[in-house]
Amino acid sequence: MKYYYLLAVVFWCTALCSAVENKSVRQVAPAPSLLTGKWDADWISCPDVSLYDYGVYHFRKNFKLDRQPESFVVNVSADNRYRLFVNGTPVCYGPARGDLNHWYFETVDIASLLKAGENTLAAIVWNAGPYTPGAQMTLKTGLIVQGNTALEALVNTGPDWKVYRNTAYEPSVENRQDVGCADIVNASLYPWGWETEGYDDGSWKNAVQLGRGQPYGAGTGYDWVLCRRDIPLMEDTLLRMKTIRRSEGMPASSAFLEGNAPLVVPANRKVTLLIDQSYLTNAYPELRVSGGKGSEIRMRYGEALYKDGQKGNRNEIEGREIGGFTDKFYPDGGSNRLFRPLWFRTYRYLQMEIETKEEPLTLSDLYGMYTAYPFKENGSFSSNLPELQKIWEAGWRTARLCANETYYDCPYYEQLQYVGDTRIQALISLYVDGDDRLMRKAIRMFDYSRSYEGITTSRYPSRVPQYIPPFSLYWINMVHDYWMYRDDPAFVKACMPGVKSVLEWFAGKIDPKTDLLGPVPHWNFIDWPKQWPWNNNQPLGGTHKAAISGGSSILSLQLAYTLKDAVELLEAFGEADLAARYEAVYRSLCHNTWDKCWDEGKQLLADDLEGTSYSQHANIMGILSDAVPHEKQQALFDKLNTDPSLIQATFYYRFYLFRALKKVGLADRYTDMLKPWQDMLAMGLTTFAENPEPTRSDCHAWSASPVYDFLATVCGVEPVEPGFRSVRIAPHLGSLNQIEGKIPHPAGLIEVSLKKNGKGLSGHIVLPASLSGTFVWGGQQLNLVGGRNTIAHLFPLAN
């Protein structure tokens, strides 16, 4: 599951204000002709190098304009990655990650940065070679720039572009991590000022042509199939580092981090600074230095500090050390050099280890440029319990750090988009921001990933295919989620061939002797309880052995759970006969799993036909699939939630535990079941972890689910009809006395404000003008209309 990611570093001499992508540069639409026909521009690369190995390259195009244009639109892409500059100012970076059949390009209007006279368009492009991230699809080193109209055609990439291979870069393997190596950068070899219009590129080579750009359908053969970027550009926001927690070798004030107190490291000195951001973040660290020729600067990035191999309380530093990525920079003695990685770092702690030689080194400034998908906190939640607000804040931070050009499972280790994580992340996105573009991209990418067998890969984009069949089922649930929350039938209809393909694959795995799923190939990951440890010889980590031998109640019931959603989709999109067929499969799975795996004495579902173990997971799926009769579901939930002998759900699967809690009518207990999240906060975590301690990742998307549940369960806001055409609001305050929530809806904000009055409830609900719905509480149902609805002293009905 772990892959190596390039951690390259670029330097340029520009002011701090130009370190942020210029806000006057607009993301716009490409010319329609570029989506249907061959481009005039060529993919270009560097001559006399391997196009498949590690390398960092600079490209330049000088051109003259009679006057500053009102609009100047260019379309840009590269392999692996690029950053574009106009007259020395950074503009955008990309391409947004996809695959070779869906290779994205960015379209930006750069007119505001152009001027009459000489101009320079420049790009740095890098290929990570053997260190390419697992999430980064790649073919070979290349860059393409295509003008949107005849006006901009003078910057089309071709042999008149200049290119330079930057030998200042080498891969570093010190503290090599799962996401790849870091970088060694020798500033004395760096072509400073290469991106500015006044730079002399006379010694640079002319670029080589690799072939014209081609969108889908335009060619007889393809290298990269170009398609327009379908998400916005990422956020770039200045983020000041907080404090120097530890200094060795010389005193150091945290005022340095405020940008107005340069720190001078004397000659022939070794200095170590431990910097605490105070919370985990994703950012491009930027360090400005002068002098210090021959010095070495090491920058180590960590989610946490370690003592005896354990993390412990994340706030404590005494006796603790940092590990993780380590960038190395060797200053050349020049003035005002700016260090900036081309790919961001994830860190709470950053340790600088500096060793000077004959010259002192001046550290002028150090800060981060925060990066993430540009989600906004349009939704909100508050209550009379402050602890829940802390969970909201950490959960939303977790969700944001795990969303970039795709959703991520975790930003520090893998940065891979897994279906299991992504379903939860997408719901959080809908409930807090309302932006559904990244969700749509994720659904598409998983659909693109389907193999000759018919199932999706577990993660995509990914250079190494991995198949977790249960995740293909969650992809169908995700399509259903989108169908319920967005009125976009054309999009959902386009997913239906994939839905049917996955269903057919699973139907073929049902054992006719048991009418449960038989042996299921690949890695049937369910969750990470300690009873299902990793196995290097068989794909058994995180799953019961019955996944391999056959007769797994968990997998069989998960299939039944998904079939409920699939049948609704098939019926809605004109597949009545197929819906009836899968309805029969669903009923058979429920009946036979109940018949063969229910233990009457234990009043539990066993994990397998032999009754070798019992888990929360099997019984959660028994409830969600309705394999367990309705009259038994509440008692079963009480048992599975209180019996410590059962294999317990970890943070990830508690999302489904809470779905079962809600289904059996016990959602008022939800806010009293959040101790695992409160424990993480007590350990100094500022995001939510992959697993209970000891955990690998301190920031894992699947653990952010309380953010969704605060709005969907506590505030109780959910769609009733597909397309969110009406709403059901069934709040579950539990032990809370007061709640307020805001939830974005395509038609506007839904607002919930409720307060307990003894046993009664009062408050108000505000719906967008075009939305109607129902309010359900205490055995009563009230009609809601667009606008303000008053809930006046509502008391529960007597039993």
**pLDDT, tens digit, for every residue of 674-712?**
999 999 999 999 999 999 999 999 999 999 999 999 999
Taking Cα atoms as reference points, which of 243, 372, 385, 389 lies closest to residue 317? 243
Could you tell me how far CA 132 lies from the centroid of its own chain?
18
Angle at 424 between CA 484 and CA 375, to 5 degrees: 90
Whole-Å CA distances, 12 to 49, 58, 162, 299, 630: 24, 12, 18, 18, 65
Question: So what's the pLDDT on residue 798?
Answer: 63
CA-based Rg of the chain, rounded to a whole angstrom?
28
**pLDDT, tens digit, for every residue of 354-367?**
999 999 999 999 99
- Using the predicted structure, report yes or no on whether residue 532 has a pLDDT greater than 80: yes
**pLDDT, tens digit, for every residue of 297-324?**
999 999 999 999 999 999 999 999 998 8
SS3 string, 350-400, reads EEEEEECCCCCEEEEEEEEEEEECCCCCCCEEEECCHHHHHHHHHHHHHHH
- Using the predicted structure, report yes or no on whether residue 11 has a pLDDT greater than 50: no
Question: So what's the pLDDT on residue 793?
Answer: 82
All CATH 1.50.10.10 domain ranges in the chain, comma separated: 380-729
List the structure tokens of 666: 């016990």
Question: So what's the pLDDT on residue 176?
Answer: 61
pLDDT interval class at 14 (50, 70, 90): very low
Q: Could you give the percent of the chain with pLDDT greater than 90?
A: 92
pLDDT interval class at 23 (50, 70, 90): low
List the structure tokens of 461: 């984009």
**pLDDT, tens digit, for every residue of 40-90?**
999 999 999 999 999 999 999 999 999 999 999 999 999 999 999 999 999
- Stretch 293-300: mean pLDDT: 96
Around Cβ 62, how many Cβ atoms within 10 Å? 16
End-to-end CA distance of the chain: 52
Summary mean pLDDT of the chain: 94
pLDDT interval class at 179 (50, 70, 90): confident
Q: How far apart are CA 410 and CA 330, in angstroms?
A: 31
More confident residue, 181 or 506: 506
Q: How far apart are CA 412 and CA 301, in angstroms?
A: 10
All CATH 2.60.120.260 domain ranges in the chain, comma separated: 9-173+191-233, 248-371
Taking Cα atoms as reference points, which of 248, 379, 279, 330 lies closest to residue 11? 330
pLDDT interval class at 177 (50, 70, 90): low
pLDDT interval class at 182 (50, 70, 90): confident
- Using the predicted structure, report yes or no on whether residue 17 has a pLDDT greater than 60: no
Taking Cα atoms as reference points, which of 298, 242, 293, 243 lies closest to residue 270? 298
Domain at 248-371, CATH homologous superfamily: Galactose-binding domain-like (2.60.120.260)
Cβ proximity of 609 and 595 under 8 Å: no
CATH tag, 380-729: 1.50.10.10
Q: Could you give the percent of the chain with pLDDT greater than 70?
A: 96
Question: So what's the pLDDT on residue 799?
Answer: 56
- Stretch 496-507: mean pLDDT: 98
Taking Cα atoms as reference points, which of 444, 670, 480 lies closest to residue 565? 480
- Stretch 178-196: mean pLDDT: 88
- Stretch 779-793: mean pLDDT: 95
Angle at 592 between CA 586 and CA 594, to 5 degrees: 100
Q: Which H helix or E strand runs over 248?
A: strand 243-248
- Using the predicted structure, report yes or no on whether residue 1 has a pLDDT greater than 50: no
Q: Which of 3-7, 18-22, 207-211, 492-496 has the lowest mean pLDDT?
A: 3-7
Strand, helix or coil for residue 773: strand
Cβ proximity of 677 and 716 under 8 Å: no
As its CATH architecture, domain 9-173+191-233 has Sandwich (2.60)
Cβ proximity of 426 and 417 under 8 Å: no
- Using the predicted structure, report yes or no on whether residue 594 has a pLDDT greater than 70: yes
Q: How far apart are CA 727 and CA 95, in angstroms?
A: 38
Taking Cα atoms as reference points, which of 644, 678, 637 lies closest to residue 659? 637
Cβ proximity of 265 and 116 under 8 Å: no
- Using the predicted structure, report yes or no on whether residue 18 has a pLDDT greater than 50: no
